[in-house]
A and B are shown apart, each in its own frame.
Chain A
């Protein structure tokens, strides 16, 4: 089956190659960051996803985003600036891929092989992206990057706990056309051994995972004014759900499937840009637990359309407005009384003059207006390498379909969570000769009202959550003739507390949210000498409160080394170098020291 798929992909790519132009000239337009994506006033960080394990792993190891990871192969969600998992909006080339059923996305399912870059924008972005963009936005991006007529990339990796990865990417390019076909297959037993509190060792069971991702992307420069881009992403994830540490065994298993197709049309004029996008997603989330007699089958289909028009009104005046439409239908006969549908339409606009920006978005959900979400931001230099930026925005999150329709308990009339956030950043940049230094310090404050809290009787708009904190990061680069060094360090101090006391769950006013560390930090050192790259990362997570108990803080380190010779790259990764016993979620063990080795090969024909 895999071979057949591979043949089809190769044939598909070949078709375009045969019909493509002979000469390769790097002319396919890569649009500049749009005004809509311009995070003026906020903090943005980009991650190279080449050979990254997953979105979850990248964020967990290279940022201070807190990843609630239930273990290798298991659910992983994010908490940005003390927000919930549903407060991170995940975009794929500018279109949301949030699961409307859960209102969040399992980041462990997001394979990165076909992706080029991930951009993390912290802070509220509802003014541009709507519901869910409260804590931050993660945008997975693909770009026409080929510099050759034909390119084949292959990666084989083997790791601890029966982990095998096989990845293949075939790209063809012509003057006006690029096609990239990708396939990625992962299988892992995840049968790691972990110590119990008395030192006894136990082996994780029922934790196997299999992931298959197939991507087909094409970029077509019709003429100098028009570009069409198409993306298809097929994702099949089968995994077993391991028992907790206080569960004798588990027979539960889960299937997550998605077929996503999007079409983008960019039209460029001298002072205007029109970007139109449409997408259609078919997704399944099926959960089975024979022991408990649970069979939960959920199917959802989503249609999205998004139009964004940008006008450059002069040297310093930029104006942008757009319209988006979103329709999702969910069938979940084991959980919903009836099929559920949600229809959202929104208008949004943004104006920027030099260092000042105002934005706003109004959504209509199922015919009813939801909170208008304005935003204003600024960014200007102070002098001496110091610059400042800041943003005030109103943000919101709709109740998920589960919040509204789950039986028992769902409340169709739940209000959206909404509130204001403010952030201010001071940045110091200095570059001299081959040394560069950047220090960034951000303070933020956010209050969310009508916070949706599940209780024993279902969800209610009963809480208010106040999040505030400090984010500090420093980045240095030192480039010499034969080597480069980079040091990146970050620290977060985040308080995210309930303003109201609740009985079930037992929350006192002033309590820090569950699984939200107050202290979090990371340190990353990267060294490159000729064809050898070395990286060491250390992350620090402070203690958290779980549903049942407190979890100790932990600090773990990862070490990577790679060596390139010709078209081959040999990599080795050692994770949890110091073999720390830690847990992110209570009763869910994490593996000790483990490794992965990988061999990559790239064939290029110019």
Chain B
């Protein structure tokens, strides 16, 4: 369903509340394969974004740094040979996604001549190699939690924007694994694709992603420096959007804040999917198909995001549950 939705979305170049998705489905690589060589161009492109790729040939296995495109589904095999698999087992509701080899910071940029003004959101998860290393340890990297399970380990992805060559001081931290809770039953390694709202970072022409880990030695980070990304939503310049896309999604929620039930008001005719995500990007409720009224009484009080996915794109609104 999602594949169809976003393929249509891209093919028709449809705009969603001023957003365009980069879902990497334009790379028709089938299932269980990885494209680690972008060729002479040295970049992958999807939607309005560009991802740099460095490819190295070796008789003992080619490898890459920065970005690769993958549809690998292996969630069980440990080791570097499985570095291009997403721990979620697929792309975000699709086959294809991007994988970063990020011992050094990696970037994504907006295409030249785009009318986009920044980045809205993206989905992130661990690579299988990294996740299993954090869960089990290996000869070089520690199992998170350490010997006793009590070490406050973490793998953090810091996202910053770049505008005209200047890196922002503001950043968004996303924890691909977090073992810093006093109650260790809450410790986690991200497995599912997780929504991350980065719209607060504002206008940008690039994003820079930096990994940092609590498991660091003289040779730098011991934790394998890979992560996976999908469905990068790019924010279009509103002036252009308003002028050229009069049919943009108009999404309203009321009441907001709400206690038990909310009502959606939108001009979208074919809603494919409605998701409510918590602040960490985790899907806490999902409704397939159209529904104007949604019961939220089971949700804990807090801030959520309501995401409407339609053939016309994606719309997101903040929702406060009382």
Residues of A within 8 A of B (CB): 196-198, 200, 202, 241, 243-250, 252, 289, 291-294, 334-335, 337, 407-408, 455-456, 504-507, 514, 546-549, 587
Contacts and interface: CB of A to CB of B under 8 A. Distances in A.
B143 A248 contact: yes
Dominant secondary structure of chain A at its interface with chain B: loop
B211 to A, nearest CB: 15
A547 B217 contact: yes
Interface of B: 56, 58-60, 77-82, 103, 135-139, 142-143, 146-148, 150, 215-220, 222
B137 A548 contact: no
A587 B222 CA distance: 13
Given A292-B78, A293-B79, A456-B220, A246 B146 contact: yes
Nearest to A250: B139
Dominant secondary structure of chain B at its interface with chain A: loop
A244 B137 contact: yes
B193 to A, nearest CB: 25
A200 B219 CA distance: 30
A250 B59 CA distance: 27
Given A248-B137, A292-B79, A293-B81, A456 B219 contact: yes
A246 B147 contact: yes
A504 B219 contact: yes
Contact of B139 (A244, A248, A293): A244
B54 to A, nearest CB: 13
B142 A547 contact: no
A248 B78 CA distance: 12
Given A334-B60, A408-B58, A247 B79 contact: no
A289 to B, nearest CB: 8
12 contacts: A196-B147, A198-B148, A198-B150, A241-B139, A245-B147, A247-B139, A291-B78, A293-B78, A293-B82, A505-B217, A506-B218, A548-B218
A284 to B, nearest CB: 19
A249 B136 contact: yes
Contacts of A247: 136-139, 142-143
Contacts of A294: 79
A337 B103 CA distance: 25
Given A408-B60, A506-B220, 4 more contacts: A197-B147, A246-B142, A408-B56, A547-B217
Contacts of B150: 198
Contact of A337 (B56, B59, B77, B82): B59
Contacts of A197: 146-148
Nearest to A198: B148
B137 A243 contact: yes
Contact of A504 (B77, B79, B135, B218): B218
- Which 6 residue pairs spanning A and B have beta carbons closest together? A247-B137, A505-B218, A246-B142, A292-B79, A548-B217, A248-B136
Contacts of A549: 217
B219 A293 contact: no
A505 B216 CA distance: 11
A408 B56 CA distance: 10
Contacts of A198: 147-148, 150
A407 B58 CA distance: 8
A291 B143 CA distance: 15
B264 to A, nearest CB: 46
A249 B136 CA distance: 7
A124 B66 CA distance: 46
Given A248-B135, A248-B143, A407 B81 contact: no
Contacts of A407: 58-60
Contacts of A548: 215-218, 222
Nearest to B222: A548
Q: Which of B82, B135, B142 lies at the interface centre, i.e. has the most chain A CB atoms within 10 A of its CB?
A: B142
Contacts of A249: 136
Q: Which of B58, B59, B81 lies at the interface centre, i.e. has the most chain A CB atoms within 10 A of its CB?
A: B59
